[in-house]
Amino acid sequence: MNYSLFYFFNHLAGHFDWIDDLMEIFAQDIVWIMLAAMVFLWFTGNESNQKLVFYSFFSASVALLIASMVISPTINHARPFVEHQVLQLIPHAPDASFPSDHATLAFSIAFSVLLVKRKLGIWMLLLAVVTGISRIYVGVHYPGDIAGAIVLSFFISITVYKLNGFMDVIPLFFIRGYRNLTRRIFHS
């Protein structure tokens, strides 16, 4: 089933150059839009936004560490272009594919934001879904790689969200440090 779904999405590639170009951009660059939105939230100066940014990055960091240090080396699942004849639209190393790092980053941010800011979180979730689908379309991930990233990101984001009251001292330390630094820079 994993390969059948992969084949469905990847088989759509190669028919319309403009769609392929768009999917290549989505597969590689949507995460930058998401990160830019988080930077914007930080620079609003609003403490709740800054805590959200901290916890989103914390969730993404934990999820990516678990993915790259534990899950990926343990499962060591080959990428589609290693195992099959596929239309690969973007270059990628033939390393382990499960779970997708791009999708883990995108969904960790999306779920973290969704738990605090519903409207923005829905937009972030939409961007994460487009990232996941495009990674399949361009031939570098199976649907299972994206599903694994979604599950991992969801559980890490929920756990961090439930624990954030206990951990508030950490983001508040960074927020105060940032504010002190900006005061010194702009008032000297």
Does a structural domain hold residue 54? yes
Average pLDDT over every residue of 79-91: 87
Structure tokens at 66: 């678990």
In Å, what is the CA distance from 122 to each residue of 9, 56, 110?
23, 15, 8
Asked if residue 131 has pLDDT above 80, the reply is yes
Does a structural domain hold residue 58? yes
**pLDDT score for 181:** 85
Does a structural domain hold residue 14? yes
Residue 33 banded pLDDT, cuts 50, 70, 90: very high
Does a structural domain hold residue 40? yes
| Residue ranges making up the domain that contains 150 | 2-183
Does a structural domain hold residue 82? yes
Domain count, the chain: 1
Does a structural domain hold residue 102? yes
Mean pLDDT, the chain, whole residue set: 92
Contact between 128 and 106 (Cβ < 8 Å): yes
Asked if residue 186 has pLDDT above 90, the reply is no
Does a structural domain hold residue 9? yes
**pLDDT score for 7:** 86
Does a structural domain hold residue 188? no
What angle do the packed helices 101-114 and 118-137 form, to 10 degrees?
170
Asked if residue 188 has pLDDT above 70, the reply is no
Rounded to two decimals, the pTM is: 0.90
Domain with 115 in it: what CATH number?
Answer: 1.20.144
